[in-house]
Each structure stands twice: as C-alpha cells, then as structure tokens.
Amino acid sequence: MTTLAYPPLSPAARRRRVSGVVRRDLASLRRSPVRMFEIVFWPTIELVVWGYVTLFLQASKVPFVVSTLLGAVLLWQVLHRASNEVAIGFLEDVWSRNLLNMHVTPVTAVEYLTGLVVFSLGKILFGVTVMGVMAYVLYGFGILTVGIGLVPFMALLLVLGWSLAIVAISCVLRFGEGAQVIAWSLVFVFQPLAGVFYPVSVLPPVLRTISSLVPATHVFEGMRAVLTGGPVPWDRLAAAGLLDAVYVGLALALYTVTLRHARMKGRLSRFGE
C-alpha cells in the first residue's frame, strides 16, 4: 500500500487538513440525530410563525408585501445560521475538551476555521433549501423570486455571519467559557440595525447612520427593492461587499491576537476543565 505524502505547506496538504476537519464534524453530526433534527427545526418554526403572521396581515387588509417578509425570514436564517454554526462548532471542541488537541495537530488556525466554515456552509444550504420548499408549498412564495440577486445576497450574509462567528470565538478565547453566550447572541445585536423586517428609514437618524455601516443593511434593503419590482441595486451590494471585507479583516486580526494571547497564557489547556 502506497502512502501519498505532500509537502506540509502545499495546497494539496492544506486541502487534506481542511477536509479532515470537515470529515470529523460530519462524522459527529451523523452520530447525533438531535443535531441533525436541529438543522431544520428552528428555521422551520420561524418560517411557520412568520408565515401565519403574513396570512393574518393579508386577512386584515393590511397593506403589506408578503413576499418581503418571507424573503426577510429566509435571508435572516442565512445570516443567523452562518454565525451560529461556526461558533458552536468551535464550542463543541471546548465542551468535548478537544480544543487543545486541535491546536497541537499540524492543522493551522486558518485551516481549522476554514474547515468549520465549509462544514457550516453545507448545513446552511440544506436548511435554506428545506425552508424554501416549505415557503413555496405553504405560502406560494418562491425563493427564486429574488432572481439573480439571490446569489450575492446570500454570499454577503454568509461572509458577515462568519465574521461575527470569528469575533465570538475570539471573545471565548480571551474571556473563557463564560463568554460563550456571545456565540449565539452576537448576531442579534445587528438585527435591529440591519432592518431585517422593516426599512431602516423608520430608525432614528443616529441609528440610520450606524446601520449604514452594517453590511446586512444594504442586503435587506436591496432585497426589498427587488421584491417590490425594482432592479438589483448593485451599488448597495458593492457597499456591502466592501464592508464585509473590513469585517473579515478585523475579525481575523482579533482572532490572531486572542489566539496568541491564549497560547502565551496556557489557556487552551484549561478549556473544558
């Protein structure tokens, strides 16, 4: 039997290490029916609740675009799950006392994060597909109604969600397991500012200024523009893309600093005690 060896820093070796992280998480998921059920449970509950809200508004003759609300629910799940899945993937290593083991293997910090991101992407796409089918069957809303803008909309929200997850991971590395609540709550800090379910024009002037610095704001405003019959606002998407690049850069810089601090202080060995 011949064993293939790659130079440690070669692209092929890096791909194998990233795929190792993905395969590890996939094996863990396959052995946990509860976790598999959770992938679709919460998104489905939120879709059903908001779907009935739209039906109520329709029956009450409220001037409201139903597709706008359902589109917001679906895109919000993309952002929410992107942040949560990566952060919780890290926390599972903390809870299982496996964090130190991961950081003494040849897997680099970037490869470890990349593996978490790739694995989360598969779970998100599966969950969104299920929600899209349910939205069409139950309420007649087709997710493809958004058109070609759907791809950049989702991509920009995914990048923002992953950036927030890296920030949450950094907070846990710096402040310990007591900060793990940030992992599933940080994204909700951005929800009121992003105007997920309402236009940002209803916000006070100060908050409107702050919201313009949130990439998701431009995505959800663009989504509403498309669903009300307008063209894809590429200028807003470009602004969201530039902001995403800034968020990613700041998140990775914060992660690098906090990981170095955790290693210097020997904190990695104390997680899960």
Per-domain boundaries in the chain: 11-270
Nearest C-alpha neighbor of 251 from the set 163, 120, 155: 163
Please enumerate, as own/partner, the contacts of 184-193 that have beta carbons within 8 Å and a separation of 24 or more. 184/84, 184/87, 184/88, 186/83, 186/87, 187/79, 187/80, 187/83, 187/84, 187/161, 190/79, 190/164, 190/214, 190/216, 191/76, 193/217
The residue written with tokens 């991101």 in the block is: 117
Question: Cα separation of 150 and 68, whole Å?
Answer: 13
The pLDDT of residue 1: 41
* Residues lower than pLDDT 50 in the chain: 1-2
Q: Which tokens go with 163?
A: 């950036």
Return the structure tokens found at 154.
Answer: 């989702």
This prediction has a pTM of 0.84
Residue 10 dihedral angles phi and psi, to the nearest 5°? -75, 155
pLDDT digits (tens, 9 = 90+) for 139-188: 776 666 666 667 888 899 999 999 999 999 999 998 888 888 888 889 99
Q: What is the pLDDT of residue 2?
A: 45
- Residue 124 · residue 28 · CB < 8 Å: no
Give residue 216's pLDDT. 94
Instruction: Check residue 167 and give its pLDDT.
Output: 96
